[in-house]
Amino acid sequence: MPEVRPASGEALRILVVEDEVLIALELECLLEDLGHVSVGVASASAEAIALGRSTAPDVALVDIHLIDGPTGVEVARALSADPRTTVVFMTANAKRIPPDFAGAVGVIAKPYSERTVASALDYVARCRSGHGPSGETLDGFCLAPGAAG
């Protein structure tokens, strides 16, 4: 099977913060299919923060409600403090996201589609590379207030 390259041309190193095992596995497979690399999966806040600090991922996909409660906001704040990591929420609980988005650039609403995840990751990759977002619509990906776009 030929290597799949992301639309941005560069594979992102991604941390998945999700406590539902099947969703986490499905997301890891999707990331691989999109040409990205999973640096790990965390299901609780302390584990997510520790893994984020030890791996310094390019992107952290963070659910709001984890195995230890609605602690995803704390995880986002901790991981976004490192300028090397871009945080994107992936949640069905968008109402729990604070007005400042806890440092996240946006949110992908669950249930999500492959297209939405691909679009969001391409957006993040373009912004990280300094090329800025393209004019295309961010289908299903809502940017945080004040985020470029």
- What CATH number is given to the structural domain containing 136? 3.40.50.2300
Structural domain includes residue 8: no
pLDDT of residue 147: 76
Q: Tell me how many domains the chain contains.
A: 1
Region 98-126: mean pLDDT is 95
Domain span including residue 128: 13-143
Indicate the pTM of the whole model.
0.91
Structural domain includes residue 2: no
Structural domain includes residue 1: no
Region of 98 on the Ramachandran plot (φ > 0 left; ψ -120 to 50 alpha; else beta): beta
Quick one: CA torsion of 145, 11, 116, 97, rounded to 10 degrees? -40
Q: Does 1 score more than 50 pLDDT?
A: no
Structural domain includes residue 3: no
Structural domain includes residue 134: yes
Structural domain includes residue 148: no
pLDDT of residue 130: 84
Structural domain includes residue 5: no
* Bigger pLDDT: 129 vs 50: 50
pLDDT of residue 102: 97
Angstrom distances, CA of residue 2 to CA of 5, 7, 30, 33, 38: 9, 15, 16, 11, 19
Q: Which two tokens stand for residue 116?
A: 């939405």
Q: Give the model's confidence band at 137: pLDDT under 50 very low, under 70 low, under 90 confident, else very high.
A: low
- Indicate the DSSP class of residue 37: E
Structural domain includes residue 70: yes
Q: What is the pLDDT of residues 69-87, one digit of tens each?
A: 999 999 999 999 999 999 9
